[in-house]
């Protein structure tokens, strides 16, 4: 059973890697796949707050927007390389995260959710109204695509050529997005089982007990916020250099809700679940976008489905669809012993 699941996983990965090289590849499908991967990064980033720390963040998209505008503006004005922009955008996102988080993370529950919500709405208002900086509702068109310049390597090797590769079409973005998802995934799974991750989970389960065990609630929450918002900004930077156009409309509240849906669908705190949730909801959204107008309904009504999904999941599985226990816990001798005994009793 487990072996089959593993084989399936590798087969899927191989298929995903090979797809863009196949002759029957489709640009639209590739585009949707890249979009799914952008949302996977967002979902993994958001997951830290409601999933690991039990803090409902309703303003995640604000940081996505900050990342996107940081990348867009730096590209337009300074023609900066994407590889330099990524760390800057991430830092900028994390900076705003800490600025918002430091005074608000002492709040708990609904109040925290409301403040994050208000912040993201203020970000959209700012992007819409500060025309001198952001061109307002017109958005920023004509952002240069990503290019990879490794001429320095050529010089190093003594080759007198320009080794420069400009990203055109969906295929290079597809692979770059894959790398991004893999990196964030790797970092998140490692963090989940680290001291940091355990502190977050402790805060989620019982803040008071965590504090009395020596977990510095405030410090760990600020770190969680910074990491989460940094990842949001990373996805934003990628978005800006991929769609080559950004506008304030792309960062409205519904996006926050959509990402939250993905996290909840996958199971709060479940990293793999967040990936599955993103794939399902984006695919569903694309299907509904095509299907709804055929039924004579505006395409926006697909949110009706999202709303219903959330209500139904919360009704029957208030912790999310697939809840998960950290890998290290499953490896603990006690749990292993317990599982073995249960299995033995079953067979007996």
Partner 1 sequence: MLEQQLVNGFTLGLIYALIAVGYTMVYGVIELINFAHGEIYMLGAFLTLSFISMGLPLPLAVLLAMLAAAAIGVLLDIIAYRPLREAPRLAALITAIGMSIFLQNLAMIIWGSRPLPFPKQALPAFFSEPALTFSDVTISWMQVIIYAVALLLMVGLNLIITRTRVGTAMRALAQNQTAAALMGINVNRVISFTFALGSAMGAMAGIMVSMYYNTMYPTMGYLAGVKAFAAAVLGGIGSVPGAMLGGVVLGIAETLGAGYVSSPYRDGVAYAVMILVIIFRPSGLLGRAVTEKA
Binding site for partner 1 (CB under 8 A): 50, 54, 56, 58, 103-104, 107-111, 113-115, 117-119, 121-122, 125, 128-129, 206-208, 253-254, 257, 260, 264, 268, 297-298, 300-301, 303-304, 306-311, 314-315, 318-319
**DSSP-based three-state secondary structure for 166:** strand
Among residues 129, 80, 68, 101, the alpha carbon closest in space to that of 255 is found at: 68
Listed residue (286, 14, 17) closest to 171, CA to CA: 17
Minimum CB separation from partner 1 for residue 301, in Å? Answer: 5
Q: In this complex, which beta carbon is closest to partner 1, that of residue 18 or of residue 308?
A: 308
CB of 67 or CB of 248, closer to partner 1: 248
Diameter over CA atoms, the chain: 74
Least distance to partner 1, CB of residue 161, Å: 51
Provide the minimum distance between the beta carbon of 42 and partner 1 in the complex, in angstroms, as a whole number. Answer: 17
In angstroms, give the least distance from the CB of 224 to partner 1.
15
Distance CA 336, CA 322 (A): 21
SS3 224: helix
CA–CA distance, 266 with 264 (Å, rounded to integer): 5
Shortest distance, CB of residue 269 to partner 1, whole angstroms? Answer: 11
Q: Are 322 and 270 in contact (CB under 8 A)?
A: yes
The least CB distance from residue 127 to partner 1, in Å, is: 12
Any idea what the Cα angle at residue 106 is, between residues 65 and 99, rounded to 5°?
Answer: 35
- Cβ proximity to partner 1, 88 vs 310, nearer residue: 310
CA distance 48 to 271: 9
Cβ proximity to partner 1: between 11 and 291 the closer is 291
Between 54 and 197, CB nearer to partner 1: 54
Q: Which lies closer to partner 1 via its Cβ, residue 78 or residue 254? A: 254
Burial of residue 305 (number of CB atoms within 10 Å: 0-12, 13-18, 19+): middle
């Amino acid at each position: 059973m487990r072996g089959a699941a593993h084989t399936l996983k590798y087969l899927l990965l191989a298929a995903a890697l090979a797809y863009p090289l196949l002759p029957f590849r489709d640009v639209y499908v590739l585009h949707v796949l890249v979009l799914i991967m952008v949302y996977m990064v967002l979902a993994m980033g958001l997951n830290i707050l409601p999933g690991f720390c039990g803090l409902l963040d309703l303003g995640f998209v604000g940081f996505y927007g900050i990342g996107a505008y940081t990348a867009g503006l730096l590209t337009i004005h300074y023609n900066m390389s994407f590889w330099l922009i990524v760390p800057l955008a991430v830092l900028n996102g994390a900076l705003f995260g800490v600025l918002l988080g430091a005074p608000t993370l002492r709040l708990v529950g609904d109040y925290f959710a409301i403040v994050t919500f208000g912040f993201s709405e203020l970000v959209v208002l700012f992007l819409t109204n500060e025309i001198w900086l952001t061109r307002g509702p017109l958005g920023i068109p004509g952002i240069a695509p990503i290019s990879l310049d490794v001429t320095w390597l050529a010089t190093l090797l003594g080759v007198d050529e320009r080794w420069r590769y400009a990203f055109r079409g969906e295929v290079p973005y597809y692979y770059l997005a894959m790398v991004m998802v893999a990196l964030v995934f790797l970092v998140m799974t490692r963090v989940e089982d680290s001291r940091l991750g355990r502190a977050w989970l402790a805060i989620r389960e019982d803040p008071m007990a965590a504090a009395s065990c020596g977990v510095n609630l405030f410090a760990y929450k600020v770190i969680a916020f910074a990491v989460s918002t940094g990842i949001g900004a990373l996805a934003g930077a990628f978005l800006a250099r991929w769609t080559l156009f950004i506008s304030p409309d792309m960062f409205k509240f519904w996006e926050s809700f959509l990402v939250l849906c993905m996290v909840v669908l996958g199971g709060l705190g479940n990293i793999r679940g967040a990936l599955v949730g993103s794939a399902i909801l984006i695919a569903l959204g694309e299907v509904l976008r095509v299907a709804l107008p055929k039924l004579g309904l505006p395409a926006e009504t697909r949110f009706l489905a999202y709303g219903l999904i959330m209500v139904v999941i919360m009704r029957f599985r208030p912790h999310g669809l697939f809840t998960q226990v950290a890998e290290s816990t499953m490896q603990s001798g006690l749990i292993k012993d317990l599982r073995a005994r249960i299995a033995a009793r079953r067979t007996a």
